[in-house]
Structure formats: structure tokens, C-alpha cells
Structure 1
Amino acid sequence: MGMGVSSRGRKGKRSRRAAMAEINVTPLVDVMLVLLIIFMVTVTLPAVGVPVDLPESRAAPVEEKPDQITVSVDSAGTIYIEDTPVPEGGLPAALEVLNRGGEQPLVVLRGDRSLNYGRVMAVMGELGRAGFTSISLVTDGSVSAP
């Protein structure tokens, strides 16, 4: 790729350079494709890093909201708020810190499938007691009806 040069070889006259009216869009397209790939990869990453083996369900997926709080209970029964483990018996105090007053955010509860039903319900009861009334239970998708 180059610029077109027009020279007029007449006696004593100056030669002029005329710029070609071309724009190379290849670098722009390359950068946009790389940004698109990065965006697609980061959007599909899970929001919470606590490994939980979720139970299966045919329920409709829950939309993620920016102000939601994720509470996870792993197979050992350890409770996590986002990625931070909550000490044994410290859930009420941790929820008190999250209570912002006003409109409560959506709480997403992720419980391991191997847990006792009572453990998940105890966590849900503490969430309700702390004033969090909008709670969604997260499951993996299933292809067959129970």
C-alpha cells in the first residue's frame, strides 16, 4: 500500500503530491474482533468462584442483576457470601453488614446437591430474618422431567 504520487514533468514547475483517498480498515477490524472475543469469553465466566455441585431443575434461568448478592453453601456446609467464607455462627452478623436499608437487593442462593435440605433452609431462614425477602435458588438445567 502506498500513496499515489503525481509528478508533472513540465519545465520548472513544481511537482505535487496528491494523497489517495483510501483508509485501511484492516487494523480496525482486527482490534474489534479481538475485543469481541474478549467480551464473549468474559461474559460467559461464572460470577462466583465457589465450586458448588448444583441440583438439576427445569426452572427458567434467573437474570443476573448488578446489585445481587450471591450466597453459596458448599458440600462441607461452609457458607460463602460472594467468595468470602463466613465463620461458623457468623451468618447473622455478616448479613447485618450487607443490610443496606431501603430496597433490598436480590439474593441468589446456591446450595450443593449433597447438602441436607435442612442446612439450605436454615440459611434461607437467616436471610429472611435479616430482611432479605427476594431470594432465588440456583440450579443446573435438566433435560428430563422428574
Structure 2
Amino acid sequence: MQIQSESKPYDSINVTPMLDLAYVLLVIFIIMTTASVQGLSIDLPKPSNKPVTEKHDLKIIQILPDGSLHLNGAGVSVGELEIQLKSALARDPKTAVVLKGDPAVNYARVVEVLDLTGAMGIGSVGLITARIGN
């Protein structure tokens, strides 16, 4: 009895090993990309070493949780705040304002004070923030 060996050409290609390789490469790419994002280097601006010789008036506006306003520790209304800021601007046109809003205060109250300082032409307005958990 004679066995005939027939050699037929393959009519399809097995792509399973190629897909396995593609998935491994994809996983490696994802891991390397997320690892490189965590180590971003940022060039921050350097502070100048020149001492500041100019002294300008600084007004601290606090907004308490109930919405009341305090200017440098004294309670004021919106009208009184405007009058005191105008007199401070008349004495020193470069008067700076720092706004400290309580986290529980309505945000509209903070915007109202910011609009007031903007309408008065105060050029330097800062916001005091605190780290969460401190």
C-alpha cells in the first residue's frame, strides 16, 4: 500500500500569533505612555532678586459665610466698601485688593465684589486660597 502525500497550498493565514503580538505591543505602549506623562518637566518662571522698594496700600476684603463683608477686619456694606475703596484709590492709584471668600459663601457674592473692583478700575486684585484639608 502506498501513501500519497498531497501538499495543498494553504488557503488562509493564521493571524492569531500576529494579534497576540499586536496586543502585547499595545499594552507596552499604554504603560510607557502613562509612565512618561507622570514625569513632565516644566520650566517655571524665576523670581527677580530685586527688592521691591515701592509700598502701596493693600485692602483685604473678606466675605463671611453669611455674605457679610469685612474690609481690613471691619464690617462694611457694599456702599461703604465702594466709598472706602474710592478714597484709597484717591490716595494711592496703585492700591491693591485681596479678596478672601469663605468656601460656604454664595459665589454670586464673590462675583459682585469682583465686579465692583473692576468697575472702579482697581488693577491689582488677588484671591486668597487655602489648600483643601488645611
Q: TM-score, normalization: structure 2?
A: 0.51
1:121 and 2:120 aligned: no
- Tell me, in whole angstroms, the C-alpha distance in 2 between the residues paired with 1:104 and 1:97: 12
**Residue identity opposite 1:92 in structure 2:** E
Q: 2:61 aligns with which of 62, 66, 71?
A: 71
1:100 to 90, 94, 97: 90
Unpaired stretches in structure 2, ≥5 consecutive residues: 1-54
Residue in structure 1 matched with residue 101 of structure 2 by the alignment: 111
For residues 135 and 88 of structure 1, the distance between their equivalents in structure 2, rounded to whole angstroms, comes to 17
Q: Report what 1:86 is aligned to.
A: 76
Question: Superposition pairs for residues 4-23 of structure 1, below 5 Å?
Answer: none
Deviation at 1:71, TM superposition (A): 0.9
Larger deviation, residues 125-134 vs 94-103: 94-103
**SS of aligned partner of 1:115:** coil
- Partners of 1:104 and 1:131 within 8 A in 2: no
Aligned CA distance change for structure 1 residues 103 and 95 (closer, same or farther; 3 Å): closer
Question: Structure with the greater relative contact order (CA < 8 A, sep ≥ 6): 1 or 2?
Answer: 1
Q: Is the 8 Å Cα contact of residues 67 and 105 (structure 2) preserved in structure 1? A: yes
Residues in 1 aligned to 2:95 and 2:88: alpha-carbon distance in whole angstroms: 10
User: Taking every aligned residue pair, what percent have the same amino acid on both sides?
Assistant: 28
Change (3 A) 1:141 1:86: same
Q: Distance in 2 between matches of 1:66 and 1:101?
A: 10
Alignment of 1:1-80 (within 5 A): 67-80=57-70
Q: How far is the alpha carbon of 1:74 from its aligned partner?
A: 0.7
1:5 matched residue in structure 2: none
Q: CA deviation at 1:135?
A: 0.6
Higher helix residue share? 2
> Residue 64 of structure 2 contacts residue 101 of structure 2 at CA under 8 Å; is this kept in 1?
yes
1:14 equivalent in structure 2: none
